[in-house]
Structure 1
Amino acid sequence: MHLANQHVLLGVTGGIAAYKTPDLVRKLTAAGAIVRVVLTDSAKEFVSPLSLQAVSGNPVHHSLLDADAEAAMGHIELAKWADILLIAPATANCIAKLANGLADDLLSTLFLATTAKLYIAPAMNQQMWKAPATQRNLQRLHEMDITLLGPASGEQACGDIGPGRMLEPEAIVAALSVIQDDTFQQKSILITAGPTREALDPVRYLSNHSSGKMGYAIAQAAASMGAKVILISGPTALSCPSGVQRIDVESAADMHKAVMKAVSDCDIFIATAAVADYRAKHIADNKLKKSDDELTLTFVKNPDILKDVAAMTPAPFSVGFAAESQNIAEYAQGKLISKKLDMIAANDITAAGLGFNSDRNALHVFWKNGDIKLAPDSKFHLAKALLALVAQHCKNKTPS
């Protein structure tokens, strides 16, 4: 959906995540949308109408019984005006009201009165999110063809950790502004993401700092470009992107098995996962006990998933990732050649604010006879830029 000139009616309810809504409005308008905001009474305790009016450029609405607006049936006019009704944050109380058809304030009345496309971005405590009543209400909204955006998982304002965080404004705008183009129509893309965990004993494992955000961003972008997407993911705290099939794995061996099972039906393989190079030769049956001052473990090499895929006949268009701390270009080009890849994207893990666990990154992309640097940007925007390069070079690839 293009957001240029789209009428977006943003409903804001009374959750702590309401403080993010001025930034959300700013990003919606930057994407070309025309935004009007409706606040519930409780939302006004978290964010001021004046701040939202300043960023939207339009009056903020909050009263169902506004005498001036009612003279022209204002709530009905707003309902007709909207192309999109987005409620962010949507609290558990708001979700319950919408699911049961209550209309006791301006926002819930607009919800019933509009024919606009409906989206909600939930935000609540993780236990409230998991509550059976909330899940029943969400199922009702799903049956009403309402699109759920999120929630994300992570640390919450109350100190809990789990699902229930409102998606960041950038992710919400990306979801709304996705253009379902035909770049990868009838193409299947297999993506790996996240870390792997290599067991040492029943309670310990070796892993790395990969969050999986880059791979998940590529999966989201690929789906928006018309591809059938399979995402094979190591352990992460991320929600599966809409329209993507996710397969969860733990170890490098698990990931290798899942990839080799799925890859034969794929046109493009993108390996963003931070796969462990080695695993313990022997996994202890019982917890290793502290005894001597030193512990010696023997490790053996894990299978090279990307190299095995690129060596297939025929092979999919194969894209690797190289997270390096030094000699970035040299190491990336070496992997491109040694693994017989079509393309590789390298990033500097020492760059402040980029890479592991960040929402931003920068990439230096190499192929056989060229390269390009993609400047620091959100991982979703980088994913779109990278996939545009993949699409261009796929067309020029000689079949294996």
Structure 2
Amino acid sequence: MQLEQKNVLLGISGGIAAYKTPDLVRKIKAQGANVRVMLTESASHFVSTLALQAVSGEKVSTHLLDEDAELGMGHIELARWADIFLVAPATANTIAKLTHGIADDLLTTLALATTAPLLVAPAMNQQMWAAKATVDNIATLTDRGAVMLGPAAGEQACGDVGYGRMLEPEEIVAALDSFASINMADTQTIMGEENANKFFSGMNIMITAGPTREAIDPVRYISNHSSGKMGYAIAYAASQLGAKVTLVSGPVNIPPPEQVEVESVVSAQEMYDAVMGDIASQDIFIACAAVADYRVDNASDQKMKKNKDQGLTLSFTQNPDILKSVAALENAPFTVGFAAETQDVVQYAKSKLERKKLNMIAANDVSKPGLGFNSDKNALIVITPNTKFDLVQASKDSLALSLLKLVEQEYKATQKSR
């Protein structure tokens, strides 16, 4: 249990979902963590301090100035005690305060006083969640390093249906456990210190990124919405962690990462040729590119002219499967796939992992607004043959580090088993 003996400070703001927090506290403690709780004044209308004290075994804090604390500064004591600061539920009002540094109660003051990572479980009406002010506030918080846990979609207390429901307690605990296992070592320190432990030192890692373009004629093509941002973030992070990185990139509009060898390609066939031409020297292969499954059969050498009296019919043929081909090699590198899905994400990702005989797959739901293609943020479900990790919504730079930490762990495990 990754939360064993971790100090989790839970801040509860005034949403109807607060009634779930005694169960949340109980489930966090069941993972071996220490839990202290604070309530805002409005939260006390939805859940009692007595119930929370009973399940936490600790005094519940409600006021900024605590007469029982040394010099009345209980907030400083709590700020120093916390390893993780979790706000659940986090109302739109609380999120706005956290964003703008307003410290007018115990919860918001602690957010400024603590150095613990901030995890936020939003809970609000679906229209409040979609409001531009909230969208901008969430973007600002995540850019500063806060981690969003949810929200989920479904029927809400007001009768509306949509995103805004707080995650269920067991989902929040799973996310906390995943966060603790990956992030408590402080990946920012790994990236920032000159003498940091570069755990990919001396290793070769090949990464594919971006879309491919399949020509219809010299001026038209078929492609997809991939921006290449996730693959480029992984390539940069891997290079900072000591790897010699080869980035095979489709057409993108972002600059190449420093200290990374970039091979630019256009079509799926070109990407296949580039990968297979150098794969024998690679220790790890991460297939982040959105490769076209099909190409136009007999693409025209000249620009096709419109015939106003006729439609246009194109026939297609399958492109080579880069990921499957690499994983099938006799001395295959540790192989990581990506799966961008719009439904049944875990089911499809597991099927792809098994069908292509991969070591790991990172799946994301590109139907969720603000995540995936062309966004600076993402959330991943990372699956191996024996485990599953939820990497909650964060910047792609942050996710790249979290993913690579998992790759390192699983790679070492496979080497030991050989």
What TM-score, normalized by structure 2, do the two folds share?
Answer: 0.51
Q: Which residue number in structure 1 is paired with residue 322 of structure 2? A: 305
Asked if the contact 2:9/2:35 (under 8 Å) is kept, the reply is yes
Q: Deviation string for 1:9-33 (max 9, x for gaps)?
A: 1212235665675565456445543
1:186-218 deviations in Å (ceiling 9; x for gaps): 356555699999899xxxx899xxxxxxx99xx
- Distance across 2 between alignment mates of 1:54 and 1:266: 55
Q: Does 1:341 align with 2:344?
A: no
Q: Which residue of 1 is the match for residue 377 of structure 2?
A: none
C-alpha contact (below 8 Å) 2:111/2:118 kept by paired residues? no
Are 1:390 and 2:394 counterparts? Answer: no
Query: Which residues in structure 2 correspond to 1:303-382 (within 5 Å)?
Result: 303-306=320-323, 320=327, 335-337=328-330, 341-342=332-333, 354-356=346-348, 374-375=385-386, 377-378=388-389
Residue 391 (structure 1) shift = 2.8
Match of 2:134 in 1: 129
User: Quick one: distance in 2 between partners of 1:171 and 1:111?
Assistant: 20
Partner of 2:35: 35
Tell me: CA distance 1:6–1:385, structure 2 relative to 1, closer, same or farther (3 Å): closer
Pair 1:4–1:376, CA change in 2 (3 A): closer
Q: In the alignment, is the contact (CA less than 8 A) between 1:252 and 1:303 conserved in 2?
A: no
Shift of the 272–356 alpha-carbon distance from structure 1 to 2, 3 Å rule, reads: farther
Structure 2 distance, partners of 1:233, 1:16, is 47
- Confirm whether residue 268 of structure 1 aligns to residue 272 of structure 2: no
**Percent identity, aligned pairs only?**
41
Q: Distance in 2 between matches of 1:385 and 1:197?
A: 31
Partner SS for 1:256? helix
1:149 pairs, out of 147, 150, 153, with 147
Describe how 1:151-166 pairs up with structure 2 within 5 A.
155=153, 159-160=161-162
2:199 aligns to what SS in structure 1? coil
Preserved contact between residue 183 and residue 391 of structure 1 (Cα < 8 Å) = no
Provide the alpha-carbon RMSD of the alignment. Answer: 6.4
State the match for 2:93 in structure 1. Answer: 93
Matched-pair contact (CA < 8 Å) for 1:12–1:87: yes
Q: SS of 2:104's equivalent?
A: coil
The 2-side partners of 1:232 and 1:23 are apart by 48
- Name the CA distance, whole Å, in 2 between partners of 1:286 and 1:89: 58
Letter in structure 2 aligned against 1:121:
V
Give the distance between the partners of 1:22 and 1:258, measured in 2 at CA. Answer: 56
Question: Which amino acid is 1:148 matched to?
Answer: A
Q: Secondary structure at the match of 1:102?
A: coil
Is the CA contact (8 Å cut-off) linking 1:185 and 1:227 kept in structure 2? yes
Whole-angstrom CA distance in 1 between matches of 2:165 and 2:274: 31
Q: Structure 1 length as normaliser, TM-score?
A: 0.53
Distance 1:296 1:389 in 2: 46
Question: 1:117 and 2:82 equivalent?
Answer: no
1:256 aligned partner: 271
Counterpart amino acid of residue 107 in structure 1:
L
Task: Kindly indicate whether the alpha-carbon contact (under 8 Å) linking 2:8 and 2:82 is maintained by their aligned counterparts in 1.
Answer: yes
Query: Is the CA contact 1:79–1:116 (under 8 Å) kept in the aligned structure 2?
Result: yes
Residue 184 of structure 1 is aligned with which of 188, 196, 199?
199
Unaligned runs of 5+ in 1: 208-214, 235-244, 311-318, 321-334, 347-351, 368-372
Per the TM alignment, residue 6 of structure 1 is displaced from its structure 2 partner at its CA by: 3.1
Structure 1 residue 70: Cα displacement: 9.0
- Alignment CA distance shift 1:395-1:39 (3 Å): same
Listed as ranges, the gaps of 5+ residues in structure 2 are 123-128, 191-196, 217-221, 225-229, 251-259, 338-343, 360-383, 392-401
Q: Quote the offset at 1:299 in angstroms.
A: 0.9
On the 8 A contact 1:85/1:118 being kept in 2, the answer is yes
Residues 198, 52 of structure 1: alpha-carbon distance in 2 compared, 3 angstrom cutoff: farther
- CA–CA distance in 2 between the matches of 1:259 and 1:46? 59
Please give the alpha-carbon distance, in whole angstroms, between the structure 1 residues aligned to 2:116 and 2:22: 22
Residue 175 of structure 1 corresponds to 179
Taking a change above 3 Å as real, the CA distance of residues 109 and 255 of structure 1, as seen in their structure-2 partners, is farther
Deviations 1:212-266 (A, max 9, x none): xxx99xx7xx97x9577999999xxxxxxxxxx9x9xxx9739939986xx8997
1:269 offset after TM fit, Å? 0.8
Aligned residues: 330
> How far does the alpha carbon of each residue in 1:144-195 deviate from its partner, in whole angstroms, 9 at most, with x for none?
xxx311365874755456x998795223442244254958343565556999
1:43 corresponds to which letter in structure 2?
A
Q: What pairs with 1:215-234 in structure 2 (closer than 5 Å)?
A: none
Shift of the 129–275 alpha-carbon distance from structure 1 to 2, 3 Å rule, reads: same
Q: 1:48 to 1:31 in 2, by over 3 A?
A: same
Find the residue that maps to 1:128 and give its secondary structure.
helix
Q: Contact conserved, 1:79 with 1:115, CA < 8 A, in 2?
A: yes
SS of 1:37 mapped into structure 2: strand
Counterpart check, 1:107 vs 2:124: no
Alpha-carbon offset, residue 95 of structure 1: 3.7
Alpha carbons of 1:387 and 1:197: their partners in 2 closer, same or farther (altered >3 Å)?
A: farther
